[in-house]
Amino acid sequence: MTENHNIIPARHIHEECGVFGIFTPQEADVASYAYYALYSLQHRGQESAGIVVNDDGLFRSLRDTGLVSEVFPPEQLKSLGKGTIAVGHVRYGTTGSDNKRNVQPILVNHFKGRMALAHNGNLTNSRELRQELESRGSIFQTTTDSEVIAYIIVQERLNRGSIEEAVSAAMDRIEGAYSLVLSSPTKLIAARDPHGFRPLCMGHLKDGSVVFASESCALDAIGAEFERDICPGEIVVVDTAGVRSDTSHCGKAPKKLCVFEFIYFARPDSDIYGVNVHSARKRMGARLAQESPVDADMVIGVPNSSLSAASGYSEEAGLPNEMGLIKNQYVARTFIQPTQALREQGVRMKLSAVKSVVKGKRIAVIDDSIVRGTTSKRIVQLLKEAGAAEVHMRISSPPLKYPCFYGIDISTTQELIAAKKSVEEIREFIGADSLAFLSVDGLIESIGLHADAPYGGLCVAYFNGDYPTALDDYEEGFLNSLTPEDRVTLPGYNGKKTMYEGTEYTMMQKPFGEHASQEPTEYLVPNI
């Protein structure tokens, strides 16, 4: 769910969100189920939360900025009452917007009924669709592409026999990343884009209730049994008649699950496509130890998302795994803070070194990624101030060189340190004694989806620029954002055209199962 403006600004903020839905055979306290599920998905969105309860077509909602525990105190949660359907959402905030107005789920009234929609992802053609809708009289209440999706579905619903037919027709028009959970007066529907960028799974309770969630950890939180992942392009419909699946959009595009789910976003206890996140991260660490060993006294993982990789590195390297960094658990993730000042403040508050552990020691520090370099620089400073003799940074993902347009807060090359600096220059900037990253092949093999698709079914565009879709609204802005320094990192770039050969940007659709375009795509790029 990403904010959209009539004019795409120089800096776009893309959020990672979490969605949940439940359908019960009989009236129940569905709001409480949604509450506990959203609590377990809090890591996917800490800025706002919302729940909509459907009681036989009567929609009651509670949506506000803040953490789940802040938005839903007991008395407020109780006010939602009972029902048979609930839809929930958590999100990250952005800069320059009315955050409260953009809280989800989105509620829409229309001629044929009402709809509540929760969305995780980002459309790449949202601006075009928004302008089309506005030209036909649509009045938008938010700045999000989630509302664009809702209006497209409603528009299609007016000419279709069912809400699921409307969702299917809408999927022919919207492009990019989306995992959706929505409620009509009588149905709960889940849908994923044909690439499957964002995770979405399905489970059930003992009473026959059907649930959908961004991650399987949400199912565990409410005692639901995991059933399966929703397939890319699939639409699942639940009502009193049972569960039905529409696979007409499946197989239209190769699987492209966002690799950052395994690197950073998803909880370690979640399983995605049968792969446990903790185990995948542990294999990343082990592979990193093989690719980039270091003469050190101990291994330290940056809490919390890097602890699994540190465990794998430690075991493979035969080095003790120590707790040399302590995280303040009450500080939100710095990576997705909306401004640089807030990110830096968050880093200062977030971590502290254990002097008695690190003093005089040669340390291999394992972290999941380097985005802007802020956190890494501070970590090195903390450890050296605490007396560490050497600090060697090992990153369990490749260098981030390209922005994301599918729902993550990596929006421009200017904010990616690896887009402007070599590994040695990054090492010098953060002050580490050595620095090494996991290879793209090592990352893909460590995760081990093994899908019949490029890169094993993972989207790795952040590392090599191989975007799996047309960028639509973002193409011009992306190309214009490339500075002369940025273009140095794009081998083969000549100011007119590029061709993907493993490290370069292209808009061209690649044949299924192949990595590279056959011909270069020509662009009109302003002279600089």
Distances (CA, A) of 352 to 328, 345, 382: 8, 13, 7
C-alpha 338/C-alpha 384 separation (Å) is 29
C-alpha 428/C-alpha 440 separation (Å) is 23
> Is residue 7 packed enough to be buried (19+ CB in 10 Å), middle (13-18) or exposed (0-12)?
exposed
512, 453 Cβ separation under 8 angstroms: yes
Residue type, 136: R
C-alpha 441/C-alpha 126 separation (Å) is 33
Alpha helices of 292-397 — where are they, by DSSP H?
A: 307-317, 340-350, 355-358, 374-385
Angle among Cα 49, 55, 57 to the nearest 5 degrees reads 105
C-alpha 512/C-alpha 514 separation (Å) is 6
Q: Catalytic: which of 17, 201, 231, 459? A: 17
154, 114 Cβ separation under 8 angstroms: no
17 a catalytic residue: yes
- Residue 50 makes CB contacts below 8 A (sequence gap 6+) with 61, 62, 63, 64, 71, 88, 89, 103, 104, 105, 118
C-alpha 377/C-alpha 270 separation (Å) is 30
Residue type, 61: S
Running DSSP on this structure, what letter comes out for residue 511? P
Which SS3 state, helix, strand or coil, does residue 79 take?
helix
| Number of neighbouring beta carbons within 10 Å of residue 367 | 21
β-bridge pairing 434-437 and 242-246 = unpaired
Angle among Cα 20, 177, 414 to the nearest 5 degrees reads 115
C-alpha 371/C-alpha 295 separation (Å) is 26
C-alpha 47/C-alpha 119 separation (Å) is 15
459, β-bridge pairs: 258
Q: Which residues are catalytic?
A: 17
